[in-house]
Amino acid sequence: MSEHFTWLNEPAHWAFEGGRLTVTTGRDTDFWQDTWYGFQHANGHFFGTPVSGDFTFQVKVEGAFDTLYDQAGVMLHADDRHWLKAGIEFSDDQPAIGSVLTAGRSDWATGAFQGDPRRFWMRLTRRGDALRLQYSADGRTWPLLRLAAIDTALPWHVGVMCCSPTRAGLSVTFSEMTLSPPNGKDLHDLS
């Protein structure tokens, strides 16, 4: 699957073998635009592929999130001012499930993760101009994390991201990556 994927901000240390992408983050990496902190970051690591039209992208994520703002998960990216990232992020002394949607400026929505945050799954489905973001602690049950709108005229890429805004050295493994036509499930279908 990796043959159509390319890096935005390629990390110094990564490997793709046997369907598993392993990444070690660089120092002070992040994706963020303005809100609250007043800074702009577009140097996080993103491994993505172009997408047009409707799709479902799904991935398993494994890592030890224990330093402030360590993060990894899925990303839909058009440019430095238009993107969505979602997954586990370490804040308030614990790993939390969350998402950031940026349309000029970033927002941040976060909540407690129920399960083992060292292993989780993310699913992103596009239908028209709507995105349905889901997560799973077991790979079987998929609660809704976010429903959002996107600008369909932009050149989108989907894939995986990881960042470590306060250090270097977060190690993350991505596996079970699939990109397919949209799964067709109802909005609140948990499977």
DSSP 3: G
Structural domain spans, the chain: 2-168+175-180
CB count in 10 Å sphere of residue 6:
14
Q: What is the pLDDT of residues 52-103, one digit of tens each?
A: 999 999 999 999 999 999 999 999 999 999 999 999 999 999 999 999 999 9
* HSE-up of residue 149 (Cα within 13 Å, Cβ side): 1
The pTM score is 0.96
Mean pLDDT across 143-158: 96
Mean pLDDT across 24-53: 95
Q: Which fold is adopted by the domain 2-168+175-180?
A: Jelly Rolls (2.60.120)
Side chain identity at residue 47, one-letter code:
F
Work out the pLDDT band at 132, boundaries 50, 70, 90: very high
Work out the pLDDT band at 191, boundaries 50, 70, 90: confident
Reading the block at residue 126, the tokens are: 């596009």
Q: What is the C-alpha to C-alpha distance for residues 152 and 70, in angstroms, rounded to an integer? A: 30
User: What pairing do the DSSP bridges indicate for beta strands 82-91 and 94-103?
Assistant: antiparallel
